[in-house]
């Protein structure tokens, strides 16, 4: 009887050990592709660190940022779209670099529909409101390390769950000095006759909106069916209309706009900053400590669901409504 129990005990221990080993190996694989507040904060903390000196175009700091972004894409299994991750362009005597990663769609037909998910990673460097002898770096945590971190987390997710349509994950440079990176890339795609299905740009999402019945506003809300279709797949009102954004013509003030003008496609930006819920726009206090990572985590979860619907639907449902 004792031997019988001993035998069962050994089998149980062996089974538990095998189960534990399988569980551990699975969890390690899954953890690499899970979004957490900690992973979001890690991206923002580095991009908005003093080491990167405000990520002004043409500086060593923005170059370090580009290297970091390329390394993240490579780690996720996102491939370069061009010969390298860097899509370079010249600005007078200096260079700018968009960072472009490519995830091929899983469906033989639908993969021809290329969907851009983007955000700008440059900022304004050693300038901005609140500058003092003690602090002269405009770190740009909300503007736009928050948007970049969101794109990275989305890239990480979709690399592990490849959608039917192909995705270009684009981190734009030189946005702060005239949307130059986006203008360059939009013209490059036009010259290549490269069809782009739509652009979903992410700008300043580090703090939540107040007194709104949606999570983020979509610029150019009435110009396409993007918000309607996105919210359909999300199962709730994630994207909404902002009268203030429309009045300020924010549709024309971010990296979505050059793709709209050059390619005449649905190309819009989501944002949670409306000049009333965050006082540190282009300010030296736009720091990591002022970002709400719980809010960002919830938002990224909602974005993942809505974008998954758009990237996997059998028939394209995003259409321009007005030009």
Domain ranges across the chain: 1-31, 36-312
Residue 25, pLDDT score: 45
The total of other beta-carbon atoms located within 10 Å of residue 125's CB is 22
How far is the C-alpha of 32 from the C-alpha of 38, rounded, in Å? 13
pTM assigned to the model: 0.91
Secondary structure of residue 269 in the 3-state scheme? strand
Residue 27, pLDDT score: 45
How far is the C-alpha of 48 from the C-alpha of 148, rounded, in Å? 11
> What is the token pair recorded at 113?
């529909």
Asked if pLDDT for residue 11 goes beyond 50, the answer is no
Mean pLDDT, residues 58-74 = 98
Give residue 73's Cα distance to chain centre. 12
Asked if pLDDT for residue 17 goes beyond 90, the answer is no
> What is the token pair recorded at 175?
């946005």
Give which of 240, 210, 176, 216 is closest to 296, Cα–Cα. 216
Give which of 217, 286, 275 is closest to 246, Cα–Cα. 217
Residue 188, pLDDT score: 98
Residue 30, pLDDT score: 58
Judge contact between 66 and 173, C-beta under 8 A: yes
Name the superfamily (CATH) of residues 36-312: Zn peptidases (3.40.630.10)
Residue 33, pLDDT score: 77
Give which of 273, 269, 274 is closest to 255, Cα–Cα. 269
Contacts of range 126-130, beta carbons closer than 8 Å, 24 or more positions apart: 126/53, 126/54, 126/56, 127/54, 128/54, 128/282, 128/283, 128/284, 128/286, 129/280, 129/281, 129/282, 129/283, 129/284, 130/280, 130/283, 130/284, 130/285
Mean pLDDT, residues 130-158 = 96
Residue 29, pLDDT score: 53
């Amino acid at each position: 009887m004792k031997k019988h129990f001993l035998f069962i005990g050994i089998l149980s221990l062996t089974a538990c050990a095998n189960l534990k080993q399988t569980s551990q190996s699975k969890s390690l694989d899954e953890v690499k592709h899970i979004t957490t507040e900690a992973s979001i904060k890690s991206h923002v903390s580095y991009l908005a660190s003093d080491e990167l000196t405000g990520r002004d175009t043409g500086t060593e700091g923005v170059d370090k940022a580009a290297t970091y972004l390329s390394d993240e894409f490579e780690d996720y299994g996102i491939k370069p779209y061009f010969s390298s991750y860097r899509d370079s362009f010249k600005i007078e005597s200096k260079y700018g670099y968009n960072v472009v990663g490519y995830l091929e769609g899983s469906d033989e037909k639908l993969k021809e529909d290329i969907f851009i998910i983007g955000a700008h990673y440059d900022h304004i460097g050693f300038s901005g409101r609140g500058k003092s002898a003690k602090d002269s770096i405009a770190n740009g945590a909300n503007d736009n390390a928050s948007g970049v971190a969101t794109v990275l987390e989305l890239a990480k997710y979709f690399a592990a769950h490849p959608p039917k349509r192909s995705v270009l994950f684009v981190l734009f440079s030189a946005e702060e000095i005239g949307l130059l990176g986006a203008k360059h890339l939009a013209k490059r795609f036009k010259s290549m006759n490269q069809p782009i299905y739509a652009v979903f740009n992410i700008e300043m999402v580090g703090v939540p909106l107040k007194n709104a019945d949606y999570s983020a506003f979509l610029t150019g809300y009435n110009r396409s069916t993007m918000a309607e279709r996105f919210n359909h797949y999300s199962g709730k009102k994630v994207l909404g209309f902002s009268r203030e954004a429309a009045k300020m013509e924010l549709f024309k003030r971010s990296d979505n706009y050059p793709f709209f003008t050059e390619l005449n496609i649905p190309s819009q930006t989501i944002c949670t900053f409306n000049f009333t819920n965050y006082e540190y726009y282009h300010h030296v206090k736009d720091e990591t400590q002022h970002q709400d990572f719980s809010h960002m985590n919830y938002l990224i979860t909602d974005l993942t669901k809505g974008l998954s619907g758009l990237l996997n639907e059998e028939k394209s449902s995003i259409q321009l409504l007005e030009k």
